[in-house]
Each structure stands twice: as C-alpha cells, then as structure tokens.
Structure 1
Amino acid sequence: MKLSTIKEILTTLENVEFQLENGTLVPEHFHVTEVGMIAKDFIDCGGVMRSEKVVNFQLWDANDFEHRLKPTKLLNIIKLSEEKLGIEDFEVEVEYQNTTIGKYDLDFNGKSFVLKNKTTACLAEDACGIPGEKKKINLREITVKQSDSCTPGSGCC
C-alpha cells in the first residue's frame, strides 16, 4: 500500500488500528516510533544491480496503557517526515516486534490496517537455474496413438 493511500484512509478513521494477518490485534496502546524512508541498493544472485525504496513505519507497544494514537497525530507525523526527510509516495513497510522484528506489507480491511506477511523470492530465477514449475497432468488423460505403442510380445519394448 502506498503512503498516499494510507493518508487517504486516515482521514476517514476515528482510531488507528493495526492487526496481524492472523487477526491478532496490535495492542491499542502502540506507538509509531519511526516514520522514514529506506533505500536499498543490492545485486541479485544473477548479477543484476537493483534499487528499492520504501516508506517505513515502526510500531512499538510500551507500558503506557492509556496511550492511543489518533489518525490526525499519525497524519502530522507523516507530514513532518515528508517535509524534513523528503519522503515520497512509495510502498509502506511496517516493522513490528513479534518473536523478532518482522517486516510486513500493509493492507486495509475496512477497519484496521493489516500487517501482511512478507516472503523472500529469487529475483533472477532464469540465471539461478531454478527449474520452472512442472506441469501436473492426470495419467488417465494421456492418450496414446496406436502407432506409438507396442503390443506384448512384439519385441519393441
């Protein structure tokens, strides 16, 4: 989800809620401790140079159980980050402490922002020698031409 979409959604909300993909809610007393832009330059396993930029939100829940982040406050943090850091309209990645610091994509379900699990992937499958997915067929659907088959005792097998 791009930053502009998050800003649009925030203008329609009374409360800011985040939840994990499995439905577990991020405690309502969470803080957004960072809003920033991350630039990553790298070379994939096929030797191709790549660049990636994402807007990063870091969520943290503390012991101040009375804290509630309101949409206008988050919009102000985003606005300040855009002004001071030159943040542009990139995809948003969220860091959140679970069993370790996880990085998540972001979605919205109509009420809460959903932290979507991210996965790794090879960006250069053609250069890595990773075989393509094999086509699955049902052996019953294979038809054999009589001219391509042998009969028992014919000596062709």
Structure 2
Amino acid sequence: MKLSQVKENLTKLDNVEFQLENGKYVPENFHVTEVGLVNRRFIDCGGTMRNETVVNFQLWDANDYEHRLKPAKLLSIIKLSEELLALEDLEVEVEYQNLTIGRYGLGFNGKQFILTSKTTACLARDACGVPNVKQNLSLNLRGKSECSPNSGCC
C-alpha cells in the first residue's frame, strides 16, 4: 500500500487499528514511534546492485493502556514526516515486534490496516540455478501407492 492510500484510508476511519494476517490485533494502545524513509542498497547473489526505498512505520505497544492513536493524529505525524523527510508516495512497510522485530507489508480491509507477511526470494534465479516455474507434482490421493517403498519416490 502506498503512502497516499494510507492517508486516504485514514480520512474514512474513526479509529486506527492494525491486525495481523492471523487475525490477532496489535494492542489498541500502540504508538507509531517512527515514520521513516528507509533505503536499502544491496547486491543480490548474482552480483546485481539493487535499491529499495520504502516509507516505514514502527508500531510499539507500551504499558500506557489508555493511549489511543486517532486518525487525525497519525495524519499529522505523516504530514510532518512528508515535510521533514521529503517523503514521496512510496510503499509503506511496517515494523512491529512479535517474537522479534518483523517487517510487514500493509493492506486495508475497509476497517483495519492489515500487516501482511513478507517473504524472502532469490532475485538472481538464473545465477543460482533456481527454476522460475514451480514444478508440478502429481499426487495420488486415492490410497494406492504407485511406487515401491524403497524406490525413493515417496
């Protein structure tokens, strides 16, 4: 989700809620402790230089159980960040501590922002010999095995 979409969605809400894909909510007393511009420069395993830039929100829940971040307040934090950091309309990534600090994408279901899972991937598949297409496997689910136990196929 791009920053412009976050701002547009905030104008439609009475409360700011974040939910993980598994249905668990970020506690309602969370803080947005950082809004940042994160630029990653890296070389993939094939030797190609890459650049990734995102807007980053860091969520933190403390023991101040009466705290509630309202949409107008988050919009004001975003506006200040746009001015001071010269933020562009980039994808938003969210940092939130579960067992460790996790990096999440951001979605919206019409009522809550959804912290979406991010995965790793090989960006240089040719250099690593990783096939671009998933292999199709034929599974026999009828209970009869078509291979012998010592053949190595099962």
Fold similarity call, TM over 0.5:
yes
CA–CA distance in structure 2, aligned partners of residues 72 and 51 of structure 1: 32
CA–CA distance in structure 2, aligned partners of residues 61 and 113 of structure 1: 16
Partner residue in 2 for 1:152? none
Q: Give 1:1-157 correspondences, 5 Å limit.
A: 1-132=1-132, 133-136=134-137
Instruction: Let me know the Cα RMSD of the aligned residues.
Output: 1.4
CA–CA distance in structure 2, aligned partners of residues 21 and 78 of structure 1: 24
CA–CA distance in structure 2, aligned partners of residues 25 and 137 of structure 1: 39
Q: CA deviation at 1:134?
A: 2.5
CA–CA distance in structure 1, aligned partners of residues 102 and 2 of structure 2: 19
5+ residue gaps, structure 1:
140-157
After superposition, the Cα gap between the structure-2 partners of 1:29 and 1:47, relative to the gap in structure 1 and judged at 3 Å, is: same
Using the size of structure 1 for normalisation, the TM-score is: 0.85
When Rg is computed on C-alpha atoms for both structures, the one with the higher figure is: 1
Q: CA deviation at 1:138?
A: 8.2
CA–CA distance in structure 2, aligned partners of residues 131 and 117 of structure 1: 23
Partner residue in 2 for 1:145? none
**How many residue pairs end up in the alignment?**
139
Structure 1: 4+ residue segments shifted above 6 A: none
Q: CA deviation at 1:127?
A: 1.2
String of CA shifts for 1:38-88, please: whole Å, max 9, x gaps: 001111111111101000000000011000000000000000000001111
**Partner amino acid for 1:111?**
K
**Partner amino acid for 2:51?**
S
CA–CA distance in structure 1, aligned partners of residues 118 and 138 of structure 2: 31
CA–CA distance in structure 2, aligned partners of residues 68 and 49 of structure 1: 42
CA–CA distance in structure 2, aligned partners of residues 38 and 126 of structure 1: 28
Q: Percent identity?
A: 71
**Partner amino acid for 1:134?**
Q
Partner residue in 2 for 1:144? none
Using the size of structure 2 for normalisation, the TM-score is: 0.87
**Partner amino acid for 2:135?**
K
Q: CA deviation at 1:126?
A: 1.1
**More off after superposition, 36-45 vs 130-139:** 130-139
**Partner amino acid for 1:98?**
N
